[in-house]
Structure 1
Amino acid sequence: MLALAWPLALTNLSQIALVLTDTFFLGQLGELPLAAATLGGNLYFIALALPMGLAFSAAAMLAQERGRVRHHMREMRRTFRQAAWLIVPLFAVLGTLLWNTGTLLRLAGQDPALAEAAQHYNRALLWGLPFVYGFLLLRGFLAALQRPGPALCVALAAVLLNALLVWLLVGGGFGLPSLGAFGAGLSSAIANLAMFLSLALWIRLDRRLSRFKLAGRFWRTDWRRMQEIVLIGLPIAGSMLMEIGIFSATALVMGWISPRAVAAHAVALQIASACFMIPMGIGQAATARVGLAAGASDARGAWRAGWTAIGMAAGFMAVTALLLLTLSEQIAALFLAPELAETRQLAASLLVIAGIFQLADGVQAVAAGALRGLKDTRLPLLFAALGYWGLALPVGLGLGFPAGFGPQGVWVGLACGLAIVAVMMTLRWQNLAQRGGFRARRLAPLPRA
């Protein structure tokens, strides 16, 4: 599990490093550019939930097909091809929404100047969305083969490329004029394009990987397989949308308070998101390992894989919780200019609360990943809806406004919601993962095209 998880986790961490780089440079320009990129980025990640859900669905199917061994190359190629075709309708809809970011934010009650700046950011960033989806599909294919190394190498190189581009386009390197939030979005879009092209070229040139001929007969359709991807992927996307959406809604709530609250929220959220990338990678490894065992009808192997992943995530997040609780002020100071002392103090207080919910956040992510390996996605969607929107948001709003705790109260609500989701996800996995207790329908092979 560790051999598969650590490259996936570092790949996730490198992807969030793209956003952290943007946050660092924009934080030196002031509160408005940082707040604009935060609000625009939140809408972008909401839009990204659907492509990510479909990509994770394809990854689970690829893992089970690999586990069945027989005819796995043909089956994996068909699944990859149908998943890739889905980007066409996805981008048509999601690209249109992101292009009109300013209108959406103004309808949500945000400051017009802030909404306009966020729109500039997203109009550059959205062009990288198809390539993020393509990269996720290729990474899922490699995870099913238990070869995550190429995706990690490509992602690390993209971090360096993005840092150079942000320094040039935002930081004014070599005396160039700063493009502000637009430059940060453009840098990330170019980095995402480079990641996809590099990984696709790597697979094409690798003798063992190129045998799968992922682009072979790309024009052929398999509607039943595409339907399978969508039926499994929509609940995954819904669960991710619930989680991403609650943090995005929190950013909007911060916008009702002040730009300072949005900037502090941005810093705390990016740090918490960076920590979350590790259990997310462990969860992706759990999806692959559980899926491989399920495809081979190995109930005991699936049981071991899931619980191993949950234990690993709990141990790591306990360490990050300790760091956030003890070094919150120093971490906040890294991302905000010295003259923003009040914003630094607020960000540090939010990081302390983030430290409190680290363990719950990690466990729920990995339990969800293990359940995806069994293609169990519908109940986790209901858990996410109840925990995030039925509990976290109402409690956060109540503590933030009527109780008068402000931004800190909103984040306490998030901590409560994450704790409830973690408990429900773990109990669901425990119920399905009893030794020998998998129902036959969950281990049945996918319908043949």
Structure 2
Amino acid sequence: MFFRDARSLLVLGVPLIGSHLAQMAIHLTDSIMLGWFSVEALAAQVLAHTFFFALFIMGSGFAFAVMPMVASAVAMGDETQVRRVTRMGCWASILFAALALPLILSSETLFLALDQNPRTAALAAEYLDIAGWVIVPALLVMVLKSYLAALERTQVVLWLTLGGVAVNGLVNYALIFGNFGFPEMGVRGAAIASLSVTSATLVALCIYVAAATPEHAMFQRVWRPDWEALRDVVRLGWPIGVTNLAETGLFAASSVMMGWLGTLPLAAHGIALQLTSVTFMVHVGLSNAATVRAGQSFGRRDRGGLRRVALVSGSVSGAFALLTAAAFVLMPEPLLAIFLSPDDPDRGAVMAVGVGLLAASALFQLADAGQVMALGLLRAVRDTRAPMIIAGISYWVIGIPASYILGFPLGMGGTGIWIGLAIGLAAASTLLAVRFWRWTERWATDG
């Protein structure tokens, strides 16, 4: 039974993991190429992307809400509901993007207010003047990905994203460094590449959805509002968005604190964060698969199936977390070296900081895996407001103060900041897991 359920989870989850990793690879390519361009450009991109991602992941709450809603509707045979919630997920995402864009396009003022290096702040704002517009197609891509994942059509998302990785790398190579007759544009070139690739991915996904799922007529009269469905998506999605923001805010605050330590520690932080984010994408993919499977069980009122999904997905995710923790402890230098030119005079200093950060990162691999899995399971059963409160307390009341105290008053620097991250994530993982299992006990009793 366990291995059958694990196989079912992985059949759905592996393409999702691949698509998340491929999406991450687009940003990873930006970081690697900008790191080879200059450490200053890398630091600016780290700062810019941290701010952008905080808003993007908050807006993604509506896309994450679409996934369990579509999965449950499919399990109940309600095709009309599938169309309604997906369309209104797109509406909610566009409305959020319209509110976020003014903040993104005035980012330099915020960076300076947070006491960042003026040159780094200016470069980061230059990047966001172009890349900030990515939030519109990126959020719509997230909604369509959630829709297709709930329908268990994940292969196309994987292949489209992989294609985007290749195109993004080629455009980056041309525009960042000035190859193929193009001018050398640095961070602006990376921003143009990101906007172009994300927009092309959205167009391709829309074409596929229209052709492959005609029964849903997804884009017919898409301009017509469905206030009831929009209310349902927003009601479920906004707590997810705030929860996402709480976690992202924890890492954003750590980037700000690392910026106080200087450009080189911030660059090392950015590299370590990229590596940690790669492993996190595996857990996000497994969590998405668990959301779909648990959402199906929830729609069928299958209590036993829901609990099996939780046990199997948690076990698979935990096993991978142990492997990545070992890699961060045993082989940090080769991982860090990927992002730095052998000839960069700051290479040694950045590597020295990065080794300590990866060691601290190993501490929270299991905790990070546990909290994202618990969140995915709770979303499947429509429980989003209590997790939002738990996340806020764990990350902002526990994690951020711990990072500051360990990093500065106790003098542990960047390593202390990252240990504080581990403390916040561990608190969230524990509390969210307890919440889910208590919910299932009550559901069994009430059912």
Fold conserved between structures, TM > 0.5: yes
1:374 pairs with 2:381 = yes
Asked if the contact 2:59–2:97 (Cα under 8 Å) also holds between the matched residues in 1, the reply is no
CA deviations over 1:105-164 (Å, ceiling 9, x no partner)? 111111221111000111111222111111111111111111211111111111111111
Asked if the contact 1:303–1:435 (Cα under 8 Å) also holds between the matched residues in 2, the reply is no
| Residue 294 (structure 2) aligned to one of 290, 293, 303 | 290
Asked if the contact 1:4–1:148 (Cα under 8 Å) also holds between the matched residues in 2, the reply is yes
| Residue 67 (structure 1) aligned to one of 65, 72, 75 | 75
CA distance in 2, matches of 1:129, 1:24: 22
| Residue 148 (structure 1) aligned to one of 139, 143, 154 | 154
Asked if the contact 1:286–1:306 (Cα under 8 Å) also holds between the matched residues in 2, the reply is yes
Structure 1 alignment gaps of length 5 or more: 441-449
CA distance in 2, matches of 1:109, 1:31: 19
Deviation at 1:435, TM superposition (A): 9.2
Secondary structure of the structure 1 residue equivalent to 2:217: coil
Asked if the contact 1:299–1:438 (Cα under 8 Å) also holds between the matched residues in 2, the reply is no
Q: Write out aligned runs for 1:31-430 (5 A).
A: 31-69=39-77, 72-206=78-212, 209-338=213-342, 339=345, 340-430=347-437
CA distance in 1, matches of 2:176, 2:137: 22
Deviation at 1:306, TM superposition (A): 2.0
Name 1:7's counterpart in structure 2.
Answer: 15
CA distance in 2, matches of 1:203, 1:222: 20
Asked if the contact 1:125–1:189 (Cα under 8 Å) also holds between the matched residues in 2, the reply is yes
CA distance in 1, matches of 2:94, 2:201: 19
CA distance in 2, matches of 1:405, 1:264: 15
Asked if the contact 2:141–2:202 (Cα under 8 Å) also holds between the matched residues in 1, the reply is yes
Asked if the contact 2:62–2:93 (Cα under 8 Å) also holds between the matched residues in 1, the reply is no
CA deviations over 1:29-84 (Å, ceiling 9, x no partner)? 22211110000001100110222111101112111111111xx2211111111111
Count of aligned positions: 436
CA distance in 2, matches of 1:264, 1:335: 10
In the superposition, the TM-score normalised over structure 1's length comes to 0.94
CA RMSD of aligned residues (A): 1.4
Secondary structure of the structure 2 residue equivalent to 1:216: coil
CA distance in 2, matches of 1:200, 1:169: 28
Deviation at 1:165, TM superposition (A): 0.9
Residue identity matched to 1:410:
I
CA deviations over 1:388-414 (Å, ceiling 9, x no partner)? 111111111111111111111100100
Secondary structure of the structure 1 residue equivalent to 2:250: helix
Structure 2 alignment gaps of length 5 or more: 1-8
Residue identity matched to 2:388:
L
Asked if the contact 1:117–1:181 (Cα under 8 Å) also holds between the matched residues in 2, the reply is yes
Residue identity matched to 1:427:
V
Give the stretch that moved more between structures: 392-401 or 83-92: 83-92
Secondary structure of the structure 1 residue equivalent to 2:216: coil
Asked if the contact 1:432–1:438 (Cα under 8 Å) also holds between the matched residues in 2, the reply is no
Asked if the contact 1:300–1:436 (Cα under 8 Å) also holds between the matched residues in 2, the reply is no
CA distance in 1, matches of 2:445, 2:109: 48
Secondary structure of the structure 2 residue equivalent to 1:77: helix
Asked if the contact 1:282–1:313 (Cα under 8 Å) also holds between the matched residues in 2, the reply is yes
Instruction: Name the CA shift for 1:273/1:300 in 2 (closer, same or farther; >3 Å).
Output: same
Asked if the contact 1:303–1:434 (Cα under 8 Å) also holds between the matched residues in 2, the reply is no
Deviation at 1:438, TM superposition (A): 6.7
CA distance in 2, matches of 1:203, 1:419: 39
Percent identity at matched positions? 32
Deviation at 1:172, TM superposition (A): 2.6
